[in-house]
Structure 1
Amino acid sequence: MSLPRTYKAFRHSVGNTPKTLDAVTEELPSSLKPSEVLIRVHAVSLNYRDVAMMHGTYPVQVIERCIPASDCAAEVVGIGSEVHDFQIGDRVAPIFDLNNIDGTEEETSVLGGDVNGVLREYAVFDRNVLFHLPKHLFWEEAACITCAGVTAWNALEMPRSKGTALLQGTGGVSMFGLLICLAAGIRPIITSSSDQKLELAKAAGDPGAVDTINYRDQPKWEEEARRLTNGRGVDVVVDNVGPSTISQSLSSLARRGTVSLVGFLGGFDVDHFPDTVLPTLIKSATIRGISVGSKADHQALCDLLADKQVGLKPVLDNVTFSFEDSQAAFDHLWNAKHMGKVVIKL
């Protein structure tokens, strides 16, 4: 195919408008290095971190005028002379942290934060940071894997094939975690303040396969989690809220269970953490901080999705945005009007 010399992208605005995206025109390189791959982006999915960065509430520095977003589904349209594991037309995506090939990285190089992200028509990456996407997924579905999918995979301590998991909320990580649970034989319990969202979550599996808790009706949701597991507790909690729910998460655990901390929707009030010491000791529990995963994690999740295929697809929000409406997609996510993944289609 004939490639253009320039392409469209979005970058963070500067000055006093942190929640605004600027449309820009970028140049494609005139040639590829031997190990480089040129990809054409077909879909981008958003994560909470993407909008938190724009509103100044994300606890890391972001490069100035950054191209946002870490999750995409793309097509290989050019390869360097030493690239043999990817071919023109392959469906691929870059990993979340470009330095995390095998889980031994010392410094991060995270898309949409440390380095430019994927909210653009074309991008060039080294072959080592790309992975193959499942062929049965639409572009919009495949774009949900990188951050939300792999975070859920790692938080659930995959690969595993038994036990019970509690998933907080019905956002991207939790809904992808629900998908993994149903595929891997893990009993899921999912929470929300909306009965409508809980009904949609239950519809993802066979009748009776998904337990739900409305935490507005049952503020002591940890007690309900223990009741649903006949008093035993859950094996893992995927905690999206952070310090304000850590004590309840620990209380909902079975002995030797794990709380995987993946988000901070409840803020950063560390005064809650002293309450965790005794329950952690008594239950021989583990509290893990999750930062997505390695390239091997990305490919392992894709292999599971490709193996199961039928019915095993990410849950998308009912509104899909065009590339030109990227700002509206960010606003939609920031205003919490979504369920599942918010996707931009190029």
Structure 2
Amino acid sequence: MAIPQSIPQSYKAFRRSTGNSPTTLESVIEEAPSLKPNDVLIRVHAVSLNYRDGLNGTEEESLLLRGNVDGVLREYAVFDQNVLFHLPKHLSWEEAACITCAGTTAWNAIGMPQAKRTALLQGTGGVSMFGLMICLNAGIRPIITSSWDRKLDLAKAVGGPDSIETINHRTHPKWEEEVHRPTNGRGADVVINNVGPTAIAQSLASLAQRGTVSLVGFLGGYHMDRFPDTVMPLLVKNSTMRGILVGTKIDHQNLCGFLTEKKVNLKPILDDVVFSFEDSQAAFNYLYSGKHIGKVVIKL
């Protein structure tokens, strides 16, 4: 990674507006952070947006993007030297921007390097599309869901003939039954639940014996009062339900090693539209629309 010769005194940033619309961003100029003895300054070439970036949250969540005020588009961030890592050399900056959060989450949720025969991926967002690429390169048969046939067609085109099963959960509201069809009644060995409590019951119903449900996100809302009774389904299937919050440094390093060894092409996880720093508002609007597939990326 390139290290700037001089530390910038200030930078451009996008923060959520304090007005009536929490989806509106405003451009501000802020002082650059001071470095501690064990800190390093890293130049970042691209960032990818996550679902939580669209949430109206705390001060920590409000800082979205940074760029240098001298007109050279870049982001500066302070990291402790003990968490630095090496990215696979065959990937572009746009692809690499998706590894740390979506990639490590998918890797941890699938449970690599343990062998799994079938994985159910809910939706075609960043975690699911990253999971799709992991499955295809690890010999795991993926089943992916969406309410958009166009997105399912794009996802299916990533693999070879008949290598990916797709389910439109709007056309098939009992999608858990559809999971059992391509698996000869077994169900999925691992389910990446991106929806949350509202999909737990169906996730467990779609699961194979000794399978695992990885609870990753809350795209269907938090709705903790709608969390179903999971004790008996877990007991009957001798299965496991895990909460996933990204992963560890070792998870990240193992994923990067896997991507390097397999020379995994991550272009399929990128949406067709890549935004510039100046177009950050448009990037977030696109994220809010839900029309994207995979990751929305801003190139700095």
Q: Note the aligned Cα RMSD (angstroms).
A: 2.1
CA shift, 1:64, in A, is 6.0
TM-superposition CA deviations, 1:83-138 (whole Å, max 9, x none): xxxxxxxxxxxxxxxxxxxxxxxxxxxxxxxxxxxx96212211112222111111
- Residue 114 of structure 1 aligns with which residue? none
- Residue 6 of structure 1 aligns with which residue? 10
CA shift, 1:289, in A, is 0.9
- The change in CA–CA distance for 1:255 and 1:272 in structure 2 (over 3 A counts) is farther
- The change in CA–CA distance for 1:258 and 1:344 in structure 2 (over 3 A counts) is same
- Residue 27 of structure 1 aligns with which residue? 31
CA shift, 1:271, in A, is 4.2
- Residue 119 of structure 2 aligns with which residue? 165
Instruction: Note if 1:40 corresponds to 2:43.
Output: yes
- Residue 136 of structure 1 aligns with which residue? 90
Q: Which moved more, 1:286-295 or 1:264-273?
A: 264-273
TM-superposition CA deviations, 1:45-65 (whole Å, max 9, x none): 00111102x3x5xxxxx2268
- The change in CA–CA distance for 1:10 and 1:298 in structure 2 (over 3 A counts) is same
- List gaps (5 residues or longer) in structure 1: 57-61, 73-118
Equivalenced residue count is 290
- The change in CA–CA distance for 1:185 and 1:23 in structure 2 (over 3 A counts) is same
- The change in CA–CA distance for 1:139 and 1:224 in structure 2 (over 3 A counts) is same
- Residue 70 of structure 2 aligns with which residue? none
Specify the SS of the correspondent of 1:259.
strand
CA shift, 1:294, in A, is 0.7
Q: Which has the higher contact order (CA 8 A, sep 6+)?
A: 2
CA shift, 1:245, in A, is 1.0
Partners of 2:165 and 2:60 in 1: CA distance = 44
- List gaps (5 residues or longer) in structure 2: 67-72
Please show how residues 1-346 of structure 1 align to structure 2 within 5 Å: 2-3=5-6, 4-28=8-32, 32-52=35-55, 54=56, 62-63=58-59, 66-68=62-64, 121-309=75-263, 311-313=265-267, 315-346=269-300
TM-score, length basis structure 1: 0.78
TM-superposition CA deviations, 1:303-328 (whole Å, max 9, x none): 11111115354511111111011111
What letter matches 1:217 in structure 2? T
CA shift, 1:7, in A, is 2.2
- The change in CA–CA distance for 1:28 and 1:272 in structure 2 (over 3 A counts) is closer
What letter matches 1:41 in structure 2? V
CA shift, 1:35, in A, is 2.2
Select the structure that is richer in helix.
2
